[in-house]
Chain A
Amino acid sequence: MRIEGQFLFDEIPSEAVWAFLTDATRIAECLPGCEKLVKTGDGTYEMQMKIGVGAISGTFTGGIGLHDLAPPSEYQMTVNGSGTPGFVNGEGKIQLTSNGTGTVVQYSGDVTAGGAIASLGQRMIGGAARMVIDQFFKCAAGKLRTNAG
Chain B
Amino acid sequence: MTQRYVGQALKRKEDPRLVSGTSSYVDDISMPGMLHMAITRSIHAHARIKRIDISKAQRLPGVHAVITGEEVAANCGPVPSAGEIPNMKRPQRYLLAVSKVRFVGEPIAAVVAADKYIARDAADFIEIEYEPLPAVVNPEKAMQPGSPRLYDEFSDNVSYHFGFESGNTEEAFKSANVVVKERFINQRLAPIAMETRGAVATLQMPDNELVIWSSTQIPHLLRTQLALMVRVPENRMRVIAPEVGGGFGSKLNVYAEEGLVAYLAKKTGHPVKWIESRRENIAATIHGRDQIDDVELALKKDGTILGMRVKSIADLGAYFQLLTPIIPTLTGLLAPGAYKVPALKFDQVGVLTNKMATDAYRGAGRPEATYLIERIMDVAAQKLKLDPAELRRRNFPRPNEFPYKTSGGVIYDSADYEKALDRALELADYKGLRLKQAELWKQGKYMGIGLSSYVEICAMGPSTAMPAGGWESGTVRIEPSGKVTVLTGASPHGQGQETSFAQIAADELGITPDDVVVIHGDTARIPYGIGTFGSRATAVGGTAMFLAIQDLKEKMKKIAAHLLETTPDKMEFSPGKLVVKGGSGRSINYTEVVGAAYMARNLPPGVEPGLEATRFFEPSNFTFPFGTHVCVVELDWETGEPKITKYVAVDDCGNVINPLLVEGQVHGGIVQGVAQALHEEVVYDENGQLLTGSLMDYALPRAHDFPEFELDRTVTPSPVNPLGVKGVGEAGTIGSTPAVVNAVVDALAPFGVTHIDMPVRSEKVWKILKGRKAS
Contacts and interface: CB of A to CB of B under 8 A. Distances in A.
A84 interface: yes
Nearest to B689: A118
B687 A120 contact: no
Contacts of B124: 84
Nearest to B43: A115
B106 to A, nearest CB: 13
Contact of A87 (B43, B685, B693, B697): B43
Given A86-B43, A119-B279, A119-B283, A114 B697 contact: no
B65 to A, nearest CB: 22
Given A119-B694, A120-B696, A114 B44 contact: yes
A87 B687 CA distance: 13
B690 interface: yes
B687 A112 contact: yes
B104 interface: yes
Contact of B43 (A114, A120, A122, A123): A114
A116 B689 contact: no
Nearest to A87: B43
Interface string A60-91: 00000000000000000000000010110000
A49 to B, nearest CB: 18
Contacts of B737: none
Interface centre among B279, B687, B689, B690 (most CB of A within 10 A): B689
A115 B43 CA distance: 5
B736 interface: no
A113 interface: yes
A118 B697 contact: no
B676 interface: no
B407 interface: no
Contact of A114 (B283, B687, B696): B687
A119 B690 contact: yes
Nearest to B692: A119
- Chain B contact surface mostly: loop
B768 to A, nearest CB: 24
A57 to B, nearest CB: 15
A115 B41 CA distance: 9
B691 interface: yes
Interface in B126-168: none
A116 B693 contact: yes
Contacts of A114: 43-44, 104, 687, 689
Nearest to A84: B124
A48 B685 CA distance: 27
Contacts of A123: 697
A21 to B, nearest CB: 28
A114 B687 CA distance: 9
Contacts of A87: 43
Interface string B296-328: 000000000000000000000000000000000
A84 B40 CA distance: 11
A84 B694 CA distance: 17
**Interface size of B as a range:** 10 to 19
Interface string B693-710: 110110000000000000
Interface centre among A86, A114, A122, A123 (most CB of B within 10 A): A114
A18 to B, nearest CB: 32
A118 B685 contact: yes
Interface in A17-72: none
Nearest to A125: B691
A118 B283 CA distance: 12
Nearest to B687: A112
B681 to A, nearest CB: 13
A79 to B, nearest CB: 16
A68 B283 CA distance: 39
Contact of A119 (B44, B687, B693): B693
Contacts of B693: 116, 118-120
Nearest to B690: A119
B117 to A, nearest CB: 16
A119 B691 CA distance: 4
A43 B691 CA distance: 33
Contacts of B691: 118-119, 122
A113 B687 CA distance: 9
Contacts of A120: 279, 693-694, 696-697
A5 to B, nearest CB: 21
Interface string A106-146: 00000011111011101100000000000000000000000
Contacts of B697: 120, 122-123
Contacts of B279: 116, 119-120
A119 B124 CA distance: 17
A120 B279 CA distance: 9
Contacts of B689: 112-115, 118-119
A141 B104 CA distance: 40
Contacts of B104: 114-115, 119
Nearest to B685: A118
A113 B693 CA distance: 13
Contacts of B690: 118-119
B97 to A, nearest CB: 15
A112 B124 CA distance: 22
A120 B695 CA distance: 9
A17 B44 CA distance: 37
Cβ-closest 6 pairs across A and B:
A119-B693, A115-B43, A118-B689, A122-B691, A119-B690, A114-B43
Given A112-B685, A114-B689, A120-B694, 10 more contacts: A86-B43, A114-B44, A114-B104, A116-B43, A116-B279, A119-B104, A119-B689, A119-B692, A119-B694, A120-B693
15 contacts: A87-B43, A113-B689, A114-B104, A116-B43, A116-B279, A118-B689, A118-B691, A118-B693, A119-B279, A119-B283, A119-B691, A119-B693, A119-B694, A120-B696, A122-B697
